[in-house]
Amino acid sequence: MTERPTTTTNAGIAAPSDEFSQSVGPDGPLLLQDHYLIQKMAHFNRERVPERVVHAKGGGAYGHLQITEDVSQFTKAKLFQKGARTDMLLRFSTVAGELGSADTARDPRGFAMKFYTEEGNYDLVGNNTPVFFVRDPQKFSDFIHSQKRRSDTHLRDNNMQWDFWTGSPESAHQVTFLMSDRGTPSTWRNVNGYGSHTFLWYNAGGEKFWVKYHFKTDQGIKNLTAAEADALASSDPDHHIRDLSSAIAAGDHPSWTVQIQIMQFEDAADYRFNPFDLTKVWPHGDYPPINIGKFTLNRNPENYFAEIEQSAFEPANFVPGIGSSPDKMLQGRLFSYPDTHRYRIGPNYLQLPVNRPKVPVHTYNKDGAMTYVNSTDPVYAPNTVGGPVADPSLWGGEVYGVAGEIVRSAYTLHSEDDDYGQPRALWEKVLSDTDKEHLVSNIVGHASNPAVTAEMKLRVVEYWRNVAKDLGDRVASGLGINGS
Ligand code: NDP
């Protein structure tokens, strides 16, 4: 290989790591002083005008969340109290394709929810898979680049995708989901959603818990084979948008059962998997999912641009009773999502009807491009002339200690952490024989693309042998590679 230049910041300063953000200890939160990380994320968010860089192609609908069980022992958030009914918007999307790309492409599906609560907007920006390809936001823009287009030919490139995945073994769990038939869902009505990240919940007494969200489709999971997905990509590239809007227009309203997994706050430190690692699930046997309610989608948007293209979801929108966690990907997204909206839509994106909270806004933020709600005096705090005042009693549950030296480091490993164990469990314990057959043929089909080099095919086989020997052997055989 030719000698490779050192990565630099845009100012030409040599970068100390392509992989790790500065964090307070291996498991602690990330630091604003990490200029290289901030620059990577901010620059990435400004790469396209005006479509979203990721999740560009999508569709969505309005509905409501209805809570049926009492979880007040875990959170004081009003939208999750028994009997609460909250209006919401859900946007589905693919990840890598552009605005006009085919809905049935092999990809994870975005599952972004905005709840218009009486305490302000709560946004939960999930996927149809419970895990993700990387666990540190330092690698996020690199990952997305590898899935999109080359600089020279403007072509997507399967070799580039496998190069990133095989060089990033933490991707194996999500790539197993992606290459299974769940990578090509029949419709958006037939996918589960997952909050994916671990979040903090705290109750009225200030007791803290870690939580994961699962949204189980009441329509049942249904997937397409690779051949069916390919056929629809040419015959009806907008198949998923069409399916959702026609079902709702016909009065066939899809619904999802809302489940949570709850972990005692103190259990995180010694749990067998790092519970903040976005490439891992919490096995159901350890933390059984608990049903808490349901949401239903029952109203189509009237204007796609105004209500879907300009919809802006931000994982940083927490209401009292809910907070963030030391999940490093979540920490990166807390910055990255609102930053992309400021860039795409402008600093006043929260004034647009689809994004506007259903409660009054009293803020000292003012003016800016395209402001529609003009500021009133006083324009500063503190003041003695009757402006709004903050309520310190609202700060409470999100209080916990962190300590450590500033490092660029992988997470501390918990006793059973490795990159292959959970995808191996998926292969060995969960997938049916037919699922396995389709997984192998989907991998082989993808890695047989003419762009994939002979050397890369060997890396692909090794990657899958690390997940499970028999899976790797079957991929090798499909790719015409003999021997072990
Ligand atoms: P369980 O046997 O308790 O649960 C396995 C779960 O896998 C099912 O409940 C179902 O969850 C999901 N599943 C079923 N069929 C498929 C499929 N064809 N493709 C993908 N997922 C499927 O096992 P564990 O909780 O111990 O997890 C074992 C493995 O299952 C994990 O390593 C992970 O790969 C996978 N998994 C685990 C989930 C979790 O949150 N624990 C969620 C999804 C998958 P669902 O109804 O949510 O799809």
Catalytic residue from among 55, 240, 341, 438: 55
> Tell me: the pLDDT tens digits for 130-157?
999 999 999 999 999 999 999 999 999 9
Is pLDDT above 90 for 276? yes
Catalytic residue from among 127, 158, 223, 274: 127
Q: Give me the pLDDT at residue 47, please.
A: 46
Residue nearest to atom 2 of ligand 1 (CA): 430
> Tell me: the pLDDT tens digits for 285-317?
999 999 999 999 999 999 999 999 999 999 999
Confidence of residue 46 (pLDDT cuts 50, 70, 90): low
Q: Specify which of 157-166, 386-395, 474-483 reaches the highest per-range mean pLDDT.
A: 157-166
Assess whether 127 carries a catalytic annotation: yes
Q: Give me the pLDDT at residue 329, please.
A: 98
Q: For residues 63-82, give the mean pLDDT.
A: 98
Is pLDDT above 70 for 106? yes
For the ranges 36-45, 71-80, 432-441, which has the lowest average pLDDT?
Answer: 36-45
Q: For residues 414-431, give the mean pLDDT.
A: 97
For the ranges 232-246, 368-382, 455-469, which has the lowest average pLDDT?
Answer: 368-382
* Mutate-to-test residue for ligand 1 from 259, 284, 420, highest number of ligand atoms within 8 A of CB: 284
Q: For residues 268-291, give the mean pLDDT.
A: 98
Q: Give me the pLDDT at residue 399, please.
A: 83
Confidence of residue 400 (pLDDT cuts 50, 70, 90): confident
Confidence of residue 475 (pLDDT cuts 50, 70, 90): very high
Write down the domain spans for the chain. 23-415, 420-484
Confidence of residue 14 (pLDDT cuts 50, 70, 90): confident
Q: Which atom of ligand 1 is nearest to the CA of 423?
A: 34
- CB-based pocket (< 6 A), ligand 1: 130, 177, 180, 182, 192, 214, 216, 281-285, 422, 425-426, 429-431, 435
Share of the chain above pLDDT 70, in %: 99
Q: For residues 308-333, give the mean pLDDT.
A: 96
Is pLDDT above 50 for 31? yes
Q: Specify which of 7-16, 293-302, 359-368, 395-404 reaches the highest per-range mean pLDDT.
A: 293-302
Q: Give me the pLDDT at residue 1, please.
A: 60
Residue nearest to atom 29 of ligand 1 (CA): 426
Q: For residues 439-447, give the mean pLDDT.
A: 98
For the ranges 49-63, 255-269, 280-294, 326-340, which has the lowest average pLDDT?
Answer: 49-63
Q: Give me the pLDDT at residue 48, please.
A: 46
Q: Give me the pLDDT at residue 44, please.
A: 81
Confidence of residue 484 (pLDDT cuts 50, 70, 90): low
Spacing, Cα 186 to ligand 1 middle (Å): 19
Q: Give me the pLDDT at residue 213, please.
A: 98
Is pLDDT above 80 for 355? yes
Spacing, Cα 62 to ligand 1 middle (Å): 28
* Mutate-to-test residue for ligand 1 from 426, 427, 428, highest number of ligand atoms within 8 A of CB: 426
Q: Give me the pLDDT at residue 2, please.
A: 76
Q: Give me the pLDDT at residue 394, please.
A: 80
CB neighbour burial string for 132-153, b if at least 16 within 10 angstroms, e if fewer = bbbbbbbbbbbbbbbbbeeeee
Name the CATH topology of 420-484.
Answer: Hemocyanin, N-terminal domain (1.20.1370)
Residue nearest to atom 33 of ligand 1 (CA): 426
Q: For residues 13-42, give the mean pLDDT.
A: 91
CATH architecture of the region 23-415: Beta Barrel (2.40)
Residue nearest to atom 8 of ligand 1 (CA): 430
> Tell me: the pLDDT tens digits for 145-203?
999 999 999 999 999 999 999 999 999 999 999 999 999 999 999 999 999 999 999 99
Share of the chain above pLDDT 90, in %: 88
Q: Give me the pLDDT at residue 39, please.
A: 87
Assess whether 442 carries a catalytic annotation: no
Confidence of residue 228 (pLDDT cuts 50, 70, 90): very high
Residue nearest to atom 10 of ligand 1 (CA): 430
> Tell me: the pLDDT tens digits for 200-215?
999 999 999 999 999 9
Q: For residues 10-24, give the mean pLDDT.
A: 89
Calculate the average pLDDT of the chain: 95
Q: Give me the pLDDT at residue 396, please.
A: 73
Q: Which atom of ligand 1 is nearest to the CA of 129?
A: 43
Q: Which atom of ligand 1 is nearest to the CA of 424?
A: 32
